[in-house]
């Protein structure tokens, strides 16, 4: 399907490209949907449970960035499904879009997935940096029991909680989903670029 090392490989036909769009579109759709489940669940529960609470400006900005990131992720999941629909058009000579239109669609998918990775990485850097700072302010040699127990040496919120780990897992999943979408878009762009047809 993809022969990167052989410069004399045959140029793919529209049917071969359509097959790649179908398979990679489904692979991207399901992988991004599975990887995106945890981040979407985390953001939805965060929005629902913190709706009535007063939020600090920093966490509110981070939440808005996460919402924007997940909206782009949902768009990217739909866009992978659109690759499957585009495969049907590529198989039919009468419905076949121009090569420039197909490349434009793939570049839009690539841009969306790069945006997902950049936003999720910024959120992850801020979150992990904050957790690292909280761990560094714990006095050296102190014993941490629980943040709710009276008389501990650690201020409330200085521990890494299960919700922190779930949030970090959600950010890693989001970055992985963006990476899957970007790789699929790049593979399809490569194959479309290898196609040579004077009518396109």
Q: What digits encode the pLDDT tens for the residues 21-51?
A: 999 999 999 999 999 999 888 888 887 876 5
pLDDT of res. 116: 95
Read off the pLDDT band of 156 (50, 70, 90). Answer: very low
Closest of 14, 179, 16, 30 to residue 2, by C-alpha: 16
Query: What is the distance between the alpha carbons of residues 185 and 112, in angstroms, rounded to a whole number?
Result: 10
Read off the pLDDT band of 143 (50, 70, 90). Answer: low
Query: What is the distance between the alpha carbons of residues 28 and 192, in angstroms, rounded to a whole number?
Result: 17
55: DSSP letter: -
What global pTM score does this model have? Answer: 0.80
Residue 80 near residue 113, CB atoms below 8 Å: no
């Amino acid at each position: 399907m993809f022969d990167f090392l052989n410069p004399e490989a045959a140029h793919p036909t529209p049917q071969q490209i359509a097959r790649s769009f179908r398979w990679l579109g489904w692979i991207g759709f399901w992988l991004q949907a599975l990887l995106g489940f945890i981040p979407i669940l985390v953001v939805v529960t965060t929005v629902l449970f913190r709706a009535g609470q007063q939020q600090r400006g920093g966490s509110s900005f981070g939440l808005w960035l996460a919402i924007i990131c997940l909206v782009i992720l949902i768009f990217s999941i739909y866009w992978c499904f659109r690759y499957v629909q585009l495969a049907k058009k590529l198989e039919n000579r009468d419905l076949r879009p121009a090569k420039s239109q197909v490349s434009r669609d793939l570049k839009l998918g690539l841009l969306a997935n790069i945006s997902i990775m950049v936003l999720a990485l910024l959120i992850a850097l801020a979150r992990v940096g904050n957790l690292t700072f909280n761990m560094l302010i714990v006095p050296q040699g102190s014993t941490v029991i629980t943040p709710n127990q009276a008389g501990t040496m650690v201020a409330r919120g200085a521990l890494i909680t299960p919700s922190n780990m779930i949030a970090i897992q959600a950010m890693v999943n989001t970055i992985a989903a963006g990476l899957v979408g970007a790789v699929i878009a790049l593979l399809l762009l490569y194959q479309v670029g290898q196609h040579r047809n004077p009518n396109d």
